[in-house]
Structure formats: C-alpha cells, structure tokens
Amino acid sequence: MPLAASQAPALSGTWCRLHPLSPVARIGITLGALLLAGVSLVSGAQTSSGRTAETLVVAAVAVLGMVASVVSWLVTRWRVVGDELQIDTGLVYRQSLRFPLRRIQAVDVVAPLTARILGLAEVRVISAGTGHRQHGRLAYLSNQDAAAVRAQLLALAHGLAAETPEPPALPLFRVDNGRLIAASLLRGAWLLVLVLVAVGAILAAVDPTGAGGAVRQGGADAATSLITGVATGLFALGLDAARSVNGDFDFTIGQAPDGLRLHRGLLQKRHETIPYGRIQAVRLIQPLLWRPFGWARVELDVARQPEAHRQGEARQLAHLLAPVATLDQARWLVGQVAPGAPATLARVGAPPRRAWFRAPFSYHYLSTWHDDRWLVTQTGRVRPATVIVPLEKVQSIRLSSGPLLRALHLANLRVDTAGRRWVAAALCRDADEARALVDQLGGLAWRARRLSW
C-alpha cells in the first residue's frame, strides 16, 4: 500500500489500513529505551558471556516488540460504513469494534512525541453507551488525514454529509503560559512539604539541646530521613507540575458551530472537539493556593464509559475548559458553555444555619441555585467547587439523610448525570425544601428534556 493510505476510501466504505509508520510510532519510545539499555549493557558489562546473553535478551525483546506492532498494524483495518465506524483488529483475539456515529460524544486527535516527529496523529473516538469496552482508536494516521477524519466523523455524528468541510473555529480563549506554569507550581501539597520542613527545623533546633549521644544520633537520623522524604516529595511535585504544564501548554479554546475545539500540549499535542449538547456537567474549582491570585480552573464532563482507558490516561482524558484562568475569565467561559448559569454562588442559596452542626468545615461554601435550565451547587471545605448541571441531562435525583441530618431536619440532595465524574450535590438543605426540590427539579428536568428534543 502506498504511503498515502488515503482516507477517502475508508470513509466511503472500503477497508483501510492505518498509516504504515504506525508501528514505528507506537513502539518508538520503548525501542529507544531498549536501545539505551543495550548500549549501557554493552559498555558496562563485566564478563563477556553475561554481556552477550543480556544483549541478546534486549535485542530479542526489541525484535519481538517490533514484530508485534507490525503484525498489529497488518491485522488492523477500519472504515466508515453507513452510520458506523468499524475497526477490526487483533491477531489471536479478533476484535470487531463498531461505533455508531450518532453516539459519538467527542473526537480527539492526539499526537504523542514520537508520532509527532513522524507527522502522525491518533484519532480517538469517545462514544457513549454500554456495549463497547473501549474507545475507538485509530493509531496512527497522518496529520492531514487525522484532521480530515475528525472533521468527517463529526459531520456524520451531527447527521450532515461526510463531505461537509470542518467549520472554522473562532478563537474563544487562550491560557497564558506563564500563569499556567505558576499555577502548576502552586499545589496544596506544597503546604504538606512546608509542614514537614517546619517539623524538620524544629527537630534540628531541639536536637543540639538534647543530652546524650544516642538522642543526638536519633535526631540526626530523623533529620536525614526527613530531608530524604522532603526531597522525594519535592521531586514528585515537580514531576506533577511538569506533567500538567506539558499537557496543558498553549491551551486554546475555539468555538466552532459543531462544538468546542480544545488545543493543548507541549510535547504531546492534543486537539479535542466536544460537540455542544454533550456536556453533562461543568465544574469550577478554586484551589486554596490560587485564591490569593484570584485564579480558578474550569472542567467539563461528558458521558463516557467507566474507566476503560489505558492507565495514566484518565487524567489526560479529563476535559479541561481552562487549566487556569482568572475568576472573571472563568465566569465568562462558564457563561459560554452554560449561558444563564452563575459560575459562583452567593450565600443567598445557603442551607439553614443549623446545617453548621452537620458540616462545620464546609458550611461556609455550601450553596444551591437553580432555574429552569441549570442546577448549580457549591461544596468544599478549603477549595470551593461549583458544579453546574444542565437539567436536561439529569439521570436521577437522590435524596438521603442520616440520623444527624434527620435530627436537624435536613437532607442531602444529589443529582446524577451520565458524566462519570461529578454529581451536583445540594448538601444539608432543609428537609421539606429538599423534598419539594426533588419534585420541582424532576418536573423541570422533564420539561428541559422535551424542549431539547
């Protein structure tokens, strides 16, 4: 097959392979690591027999990996037929995946570093429903093909002709990289490190006055282990910060007629599209250390299957609307995706005063608001989190109360959506009000569903 494994035939119903360089892109990093291991073995081994044996093992693993990924490429084919995306894959366990285009929740284009170097990208189709255990992944296509496939899948998902060109996106918002880096460094975990350092300082200050060599020895030991612990913690925090900077670098949101376009990434580029009307919930959080700067983070939840992604990707698959923004920007962004819903709640919607006895540490943030389209709830102890749920997406409403809540004549109300991550929780409401709210929200949700049809 020529290099241009053109997408047109696949989209018009002919089976197609993925890009021929896919195997290389897929095992690129592993191959590099193995090569490094081989080199270090060759240069650093002591006995010649051990060296050859180990080198052979490494070479065998590398060759096996290469063969496996080539075979996987050979047996994988895909096409779009009717209103389905079909992917056949697997040599031993043959898998035939069918993704109804109508149920597509989002289409992402992801380009990890090795794929990016080769000019390839992965198309990832996130669909709702319970039948499939995994997302549709086309790894890899060439950059142009990936963009084309994404445009056509989205067009088909919206019930348009496949040839509909991708509508242009209007730039909506752009995250300042400097602020992103600063915000990534400002994590609550730093406080823990600070506490540890303070404890260490106290120990060090106490130690010299301690009488006896054994005590001093113990103090020194404690200090050493403390320093090691702090260093490990700092390293982990730094890694975490680097990862989030890497993931969210150059974060831009565009507004296209078919959905929101998110672009982000430093080494690994990601282009996500979230169709309108697929947003199950919006959340705005203000971490403790960001509050002095008036920053906030806005996240989105779409319907998806329970954790079936590869490990470590769950976090990246989380849809961020803005990794960090000023509160005004965050409010404005929320207004773009949830017009009419307040992004932060005043104390007007606070639960009755007696709720303080049940929730002394979060009472100051508890609040609830709703109109005929949105339910907004706010919870949190040190980090206020506002969850905004469109009433038309409500799946079920739950009311619960334990002994203490009942004694105070209070109840908790929770509203579930098909999103997997948050529920809107109106905590510690007056029991009668909550009971009335259940029916009221039920009616409003019903009406919202009718209207959205």
Partner 1 sequence: MQYRRPSPRLWLARQTVLGLTSLVLLVILGVSGGILWGAPGGLAGVGAGLAVAVISWFVERGRYRSWGYLERDEDLVVQRGLVFHRLTVVPFGRMQFVDVTAGPVDRLFDLATVQLHTAAAATDARIPGLRSADAAQLRDRLSTLGEARASGL
Q: Are 121 and 111 in contact (CB under 8 A)?
A: yes
Size of the site for partner 1 (CB under 8 A): 35
Strands 319-326, 410-416: pairing is unpaired
Minimum distance, C-beta of residue 420 to partner 1, in the bound complex (Å): 7
C-beta of 99 vs 295, nearer to partner 1: 99
Q: Which CA distances in Å does 212 have to 206, 218, 225, 253, 444?
A: 13, 10, 20, 64, 74
Minimum distance, C-beta of residue 446 to partner 1, in the bound complex (Å): 5
Minimum distance, C-beta of residue 156 to partner 1, in the bound complex (Å): 16
Greatest Cα pair distance in the chain: 84
Q: Residues 254 to 293: which contact partner 1 by CB under 8 A?
A: 278, 280
CA separation for the pair 294, 327 (Å, rounded):
6
Q: Are 121 and 7 in contact (CB under 8 A)?
A: no
* CB atoms closer than 10 angstroms to residue 427: 24
Minimum distance, C-beta of residue 438 to partner 1, in the bound complex (Å): 6
C-beta of 133 vs 406, nearer to partner 1: 406
Q: Are 370 and 338 in contact (CB under 8 A)?
A: no
DSSP β-bridge partners for residue 441: none
Minimum distance, C-beta of residue 49 to partner 1, in the bound complex (Å): 56
Minimum distance, C-beta of residue 299 to partner 1, in the bound complex (Å): 18
Give the range of 50-58, 62-70, 362-370, 412-420 binding partner 1 by CB under 8 A.
Answer: 412-420
Among 176, 207, 416, 430, binds partner 1 (CB under 8 A): 416
Applying CB under 8 A, does 310 fall inside the site for partner 1? no
Q: Residues 44 to 103: which contact partner 1 by CB under 8 A?
A: 103
Query: Mask: binding to partner 1, 365-404, rule CB under 8 A, as x and -?
Result: ----------------------------xxxxxxxxxxx-
Minimum distance, C-beta of residue 385 to partner 1, in the bound complex (Å): 17
Q: Residues 288 to 307: which contact partner 1 by CB under 8 A?
A: 303, 306
What is the three-class DSSP state of 4? coil
Q: Are 410 and 430 in contact (CB under 8 A)?
A: yes
Among 263, 354, 423, 433, binds partner 1 (CB under 8 A): 423
Q: Are 368 and 378 in contact (CB under 8 A)?
A: yes
Applying CB under 8 A, does 414 fall inside the site for partner 1? yes
CA separation for the pair 13, 16 (Å, rounded):
9
Minimum distance, C-beta of residue 301 to partner 1, in the bound complex (Å): 11
Is cis: bond before 365, omega within 30 of 0? no
User: What is residue 209's DSSP assignment?
Assistant: G
Among 17, 116, 291, 420, binds partner 1 (CB under 8 A): 420
Minimum distance, C-beta of residue 342 to partner 1, in the bound complex (Å): 24
Give the range of 34-42, 160-168, 357-365, 419-427 binding partner 1 by CB under 8 A.
Answer: 419-427
DSSP secondary structure letters along 27-41: HHHHHHHHHHHHHHH
Minimum distance, C-beta of residue 451 to partner 1, in the bound complex (Å): 11
Interhelix angle 213-248/177-185, nearest 10 degrees: 150
Q: Among residues 278, 277, 268, which one has the least CA distance to residue 316?
A: 268
CA separation for the pair 304, 186 (Å, rounded):
30
Give the range of 213-221, 250-258, 359-367, 415-423 binding partner 1 by CB under 8 A.
Answer: 415-423
C-beta of 114 vs 417, nearer to partner 1: 417
Q: Among residues 331, 173, 143, 309, which one has the least CA distance to residue 248?
A: 173
C-beta of 260 vs 322, nearer to partner 1: 260
Q: Among residues 204, 202, 197, 198, which one has the least CA distance to residue 231?
A: 197
Applying CB under 8 A, does 159 fall inside the site for partner 1? no
Contacts of 45 (CB under 8 A, 6+ apart): 51, 54
C-beta of 367 vs 412, nearer to partner 1: 412
Among 6, 326, 418, 430, binds partner 1 (CB under 8 A): 418
Contact positions vs partner 1 (CB under 8 A): 103, 105, 128, 130, 278, 280, 303, 306, 393-403, 406, 411, 414, 416-420, 423, 438, 442, 445-446, 449, 452-453
